[in-house]
Amino acid sequence: MANVGFVGLGIMGHPMAGHLIDAGHTLYLYDIKPVPAELTGKGGVACANATEVAKNADIIITMVPDTPHVGAALFGEGGIAAGLTPGKIVVDMSSIAPVETKEYARKINELGCDYLDAPVSGGEVGAKAASLTIMVGGPEAAFETVKPLFEKMGKNITLVGGNGDGQTTKVANQIIVALNILAVSEALLFASKAGADPAKVRQALMGGFANSRILEVHGERIVKRTFAPGFRIELHQKDLNLALNGARQLQMALPATAVAQQLFSAVAAQGGAALDHSALVKALELLAGHTVAPDA
């Protein structure tokens, strides 16, 4: 069993850390909010700051909202870097910018430690079910050391390449998810305004080539008007910003991604930033003067 540090115990980190405790690992925990009593009740050790976490753990995991938060957790006052000694492994499971990820990895490597970027897909549902997809960038030896921990939190675990490649893969994932939500939203809105029952249309489409996980999960959300967040629009906006900024740096166009981002922005402007990203449909409904189904 490993001594594991976990920094960031929010909607994703809380259940992920819980799975590691349940597997018998010793967890050293820190969050800017009080550490959940459920985790300490199961044997997790609450720490005063991330430095204390790093001093006690051999593998330190971060799971925080955005690039600046990772930087602060690693290198800020009371941060992880101050508690590292050579031979430890830092694993960032947040979804952040690939360019900054490479810089963070370089700084951690200079301290004699390995760094893995290991963002996830699957949302709160996947975190609770330990069924996350985990996309990893970094050295293979460090990946093999940490893989048993990944296997307690996820199912589809892939070493994609070097540092930054895990984050690049996550950005690609978020492009695909956003455009699938847009496609499902347009299709169900079209069917509904044409007079068809969107629930039955969705059911029919799930038996054919148009079927997808998005149609299954988010199509149901759209029809049933259940927009309480699994993954918030504001977080998907952050991820698409990474895609669009990266595309500018690469001197390429992502036109469909830009459209999806503008639709997310339209929903956010109407107060929907904290809604589930399936609520993108609300922007299209406004344009159509029609809702897929009555609001609950």
Instruction: Give the C-alpha distances (Å, rounded to integers) separating 93 from 39, 50, 82, 136, 167.
Output: 19, 15, 20, 9, 9
> What is the distance between the alpha carbons of residues 264 and 282, in angstroms, rounded to a whole number?
9
Catalytic residue list: 170
Question: pLDDT (tens digit, 0 to 9) for every residue of the chain, 296 residues total?
Answer: 899 999 999 999 999 999 999 999 999 999 999 999 999 999 999 999 999 999 999 999 999 999 999 999 999 999 999 999 999 999 999 999 999 999 999 999 999 999 999 999 988 889 999 999 999 999 999 999 999 999 999 999 999 999 999 999 999 999 999 999 999 999 999 999 999 999 999 999 999 999 999 999 999 999 999 999 888 999 999 999 999 999 999 999 999 999 999 999 999 999 999 999 999 999 999 999 999 999 87
Nearest alpha-carbon partner for 1 in 22, 17, 25? 25
pTM score, whole prediction = 0.90
Taking a C-beta distance cutoff of 8 angstroms, is the pair 47, 28 a contact?
yes
| Whole-number pLDDT of residue 223 | 98
Query: Whose CA is closest to 106, among 139, 73, 149?
Result: 139
